[in-house]
Amino acid sequence: MAAEAPLRFGFDQPGGRRTSTVGEPEPEVEPDSLGEGDEFDLHGGDAGERVEETLKALEDELVGLAPVKTRVREIGALLRVDRARQQFGLASSRPTLHMSFTGGPGTGKTTVALRMAEMLHALGYIRSPKVHTVTRDDLVGQFIGHTAPKTKEAVARAAGGILFIDEAYYLFRPENERDYGQEVIEILLTEMENERTSLVVIFAGYEDRMETFFSANPGLSSRVAHHISFDDYTHDELVRIADLMVVKENFRFDEEGRTAFSRYLELRMRQPRFSNARSVRNAIERCRLRQAKRLVELEHPLTRDDLITLTAEDVRGSSLFADSPTTTNEPEEG
Ligand SMILES: Nc1ncnc2c1ncn2[C@@H]1O[C@H](COP(=O)(O)OP(=O)(O)OP(=O)(O)O)[C@@H](O)[C@H]1O
Ligand SMILES: [Mg+2]
């Protein structure tokens, strides 16, 4: 007689005692529910598909960032295998999920954090795919006794999701003997071990300062399992990011417009406060303003083509193309 087909399970059976919490739907399949002879399909089921979708979205929406994408895939693989092992009752501790995202401004850290939240949620490691972003001011109080409640409130808001601490190094001020930031760090250390809140903390900021921050806080550093670093974009990548952004907004550069924008980026990259993809987005917005102004001044009715096209004129209106470009103190030049 032919052997019976093995039982097959995928990730649509959430399971996972380690992540189910009050208010959560009961897992459909308990951990330990699979045994010898059963099989588990890592790619199947609702969760498996959602992870694949998230990874694909990351691939499609972000230009470059190959090392970041690889790391996210690796974390996805680790967690999928961990979940499968749980179903077979193979005991191991909950993987440490706290991370650090280091890199310059506008390099995609927040965007990747949102995708990470989706992935962790699909796999049941967090209860909702939300990212609660805070900076020092949201955590540190002005007066004695104010810091702990503030930090705990932020943790409570982020609980079940991701607490994203932007410019985390500002929590640590060694020059200030009794800085309240130290209190925040101590509370975070406790909360990061607390499985009940299923909180994932991501520390974000510039690479060099984060290194100093972690070396001064070895306790934190040892609780961060994944260090992901985001490189500044090359000129070529910035041009591709611009193409992606304009298409998404139902615009396009005509040929001269695209050449002008590429030149604009060359100039902008050398300016102060250059913020990678964020500067690209801001520059496109200013091109749209100039396009609108140009179109309003036209005497004839507009075609669809008029409405979607950004021309060299729209780009070259920037002050960077002026005869003697001024370095302004504005967050972004005009
Ligand atoms: N590789 C990329 N491809 C396409 N768009 C990108 C890319 N990286 C970032 N962006 C876009 O640039 C903008 C800024 O990105 P994001 O907010 O994720 O950067 P960040 O690193 O968090 O910046 P900051 O450090 O200033 O907070 C967003 O609109 C995002 O969609
Ligand atoms: Mg950000």
Mean per-residue pLDDT over the chain, rounded? 86
pLDDT category at 325 given cuts 50, 70, 90 is low
Q: Nearest-CA neighbor of 33 among 17, 50, 19?
A: 17
| C-alpha 101 to ligand 1 mean position (Å) | 13
Query: What residues are in contact with ligand 1 under a 6 Å CB criterion?
Result: 62-65, 105-111, 241, 244, 275, 277-278, 281
Question: Given pLDDT bands bounded at 50, 70 and 90, which one contains residue 9?
Answer: very low
Domains, in order of start, for the chain: 9-230 (3.40.50.300), 235-321 (1.10.8.60)
CA pseudo-torsion sign 271, 280, 233, 75: positive
Largest distance between two CA atoms of the chain = 87
CB 106 within 8 A of CB 277: yes
Q: Name residue 203's amino acid.
A: F
pLDDT band (50, 70, 90) for residue 26: very low
pLDDT of residue 175: 78
CA of 275 relative to ligand 1 center, distance in Å? 9
DSSP 98-116: -EEEEE-TTSSHHHHHHHH
pLDDT at 35 over 80: no
- Residue 166 CA to residue 231 CA, distance in Å, equals 17
Please choose from 61, 102, 107 the residue to mutate so as to test ligand 1's pocket, defined by most ligand atoms within 8 A of CB.
Answer: 107
Closest-lying ligand to the alpha carbon of 167? 1
pLDDT on residue 331: 54
Instruction: Return the DSSP state at 22.
Output: T
Q: 62 near 190, Cβ under 8 Å?
A: no
Residue 83 has pLDDT above 90, yes or no: no
Question: How many Å from the N-terminal Cα to the C-terminal Cα in the chain?
Answer: 78
- 257: amino acid identity, one letter: G
Query: How many Cα neighbours within 13 Å face the side chain of 300?
Result: 4
Average pLDDT over residues 262-275: 96
| Least-confidence region, from 65-79, 119-133, 167-181, 211-225 | 167-181
- Judged on CB neighbours under 10 Å (0-12, 13-18, 19+), 119 is buried
Type of residue at 135 = T
pLDDT at 4 > cutoff 80: no
Q: What is the pLDDT of residue 329?
A: 45
* Ligand found nearest the CA of 205: 1
Q: pLDDT band for 277, please (50, 70, 90 cuts).
A: very high
